[in-house]
Amino acid sequence: MVASVTQKALNNAIETYYDDTHTFSAVSFYFINNGGTPLQVALSGIKDVTTGVSIDVDPLSGTAKLPLTQAQINTIKSSNLWFAFNMYIGNPAGYSAAKYLTINPGINAVDYYLLCRTLHVAFWNPDKSTWTDILQTAKEEFNINATVNLQTVISSNNITEIVQNGIDYIMSTYNLSSTDLNIQQLLFDADSAVVSPSGTLTGLDSSCSVFIPLMQQFAKSYFSTYLAQAPALDYAVTQTNTSSLLPTSMSLFAGAFVDSKGNAITNPTEDQQDLATLNYLFSTGGEALNAGKQFNWNFLDDNGTSHNPDLDTNADVNKYDGAIAIKRDAFAKYLDSQLQSYVLGNCWTPVISVGADPVLQYEYDVDIKCDTYASFYGLQQFDETQVMMGSPDTLVLYLHTATDSATGWSADDTMKVTTHFQLMVDVDTTKQTLTVTQNLWISVAATGNPKVEDHTPYNGSPVYKTFTDTFSFVVDQGGNMCLTNTNSQVQDTSDKPANIPQYVSDALSRWVAWIDAADFKQLPVIMPIQFVFPGGNAFTFKDAQFSDTSDLVCHIKYLAES
């Protein structure tokens, strides 16, 4: 399975934290030079290098209207301060369509933009012997970004202490005693953050010797503050996953938007870049997970005139946040697990016994037994040739045939009974329908007994029934796949009772009575109705359809945006 989320969707989800003035609060950081390595200290840790006494000047106390005095600057100059900054994470005042991250296809990393509502940076520049005091104004948006690796969350074993504390808080505060750690959200490896050399901070000389350590510590402090004050970039604690296919392993792969030939576009437009996807790859049932690779198709189309939803609400990039795709074979395995008990209950084997009195017309008695070990085909491989010729794709097929024969009171007096049961589930990707077809056939070949009245030869089918149920399907907002029976047909070509000799009817009477009360029936098909897409705790589900190769695909939207 794959849950594919677009870059635009990730930005939209993160934006809710940046818009909320209560999400973050301002915080100050001070660093001294500890043998060429920045060491964070409290304000009181900034000391005069000669006396060792804490200075009484806060390097961040200056403002645009009231900057520090020269005497205050001289005090800081003679201290061990390397640099200081105060940040208030959020959207800069007057920002316009800020972007928070850009996906880097193929390397499982993103460029994250370190946006601040306000930012104040102060330090003594030893290269030019000048005081640097930079304050982000109301209309400025500093272009500072860092490349950050993405981590794969596969269990609770690698939870950091701060995340575990957050989980414990949520568990105790909201009494979510039945929660699991869900593996469907983004996790940044904050320690890997590397500030881009192309980043700019207006008024700061990037060639300054303070620039690199300052920017690196700013990035680390930014993410540590983010993770401490908001859960957006870390694990998600949600209700237990009720999906029909539970993930047992997971990996990430960042994918690019591709052209009509399936090649990644090297210079995408803004809309195309917004349609780049972060792909969460899952396997189920403990199976090995294939390595992630670039898809040669797009889950969402570049079909709009603008990525701005106010201008084009029908564009895929604005209607959906991505898609969840379930491989055809995984869905077929699910159907197989749901149908096996029903199928085995219809794998019948005839057992013929011969009566003891040749005068009676109850010479043969046909009994049945159920083969719980019966062979059946089950999962079917995708047949591209069959589908290309317009035939449906058969997901699962079961077939059981059994025969028994017996000799009566003479060598010419024989009866052979054959049972045949078949069930198959087909997908028509053109009509977007799922069809369940069942066939039950019981054939009898009897030579007759000329010594017994009415024992005439017979070769026919006392039972020959075919049930065909066709379903359309939709998905509700919770990810439940719901089928609607659009057409049911019953084809009964069984021999009419008047055409079946009495001795054959008598022989089959107990079996026919058993069949009438047995499991073979117009299948209610509850198994796909029970199917639930993964990710129900994070997404609402907008539609579902089968792809050309019968993979089950559903468009999704983050719950917060629905």
- Residue pLDDT, tens place only, 513-527: 656 545 555 554 455
Phi, psi of 385, deg, nearest 5? -60, -45
239 to each of 128, 163, 171, 187, 278, how far by Cα in Å?
57, 17, 11, 19, 23
Extract the tokens encoding 543.
């539609």
Q: Two tokens at 242?
A: 């009720």
Confidence at 313, pLDDT banded by 50, 70, 90: confident
Query: What's the average model confidence in pLDDT over 204-221?
Result: 87
- Do the beta carbons of residue 8 and residue 317 sit within 8 Å? yes
The pTM is what?
0.76
What count of Cα atoms within 13 Å lies in the side-chain half-sphere of residue 158? 11
- DSSP symbols for 278-339: EEEEEEETTPPPPPP---SS-SS----S-S-TTT-TTSHHHH-SEEEEE-HHHHHHHHHHHH
Tell me the C-alpha distance between 412 and 428, whole Å.
50
Interval 412-441 mean pLDDT: 91
Tokens of residue 84, six digits = 């200081």
Half-sphere exposure of 130 (CA within 13 A, CB side): 10
Tell me the two tokens of residue 415. Answer: 């009866």
- The structure tokens listed for 141 are 């948006």
- The pLDDT tens digits of the residues spanning 31-78 come to 999 988 999 999 999 999 999 999 999 999 998 888 999 999 999 999
- Rounded to the nearest 5 percent, the helix, strand and coil shares of the chain are 20, 35, 45
Res 357 pLDDT > 90: no
| Dist. CA 122–CA 74, nearest whole Å | 13
Q: What is the DSSP string of 176-217?
A: -TTEEEE--S--EEEEEEEE-TT---TT--TTSTTHHHHHHH
Give the pLDDT band of residue 235 (cuts 50, 70, 90): very low
Give the three-state DSSP class for 156: coil
How much is the average pLDDT of 474-494?
Answer: 84
Phi-psi region of 314 (alpha: psi -120 to 50; beta: other; left: phi over 0): alpha
Confidence of residue 242 (pLDDT cuts 50, 70, 90): low
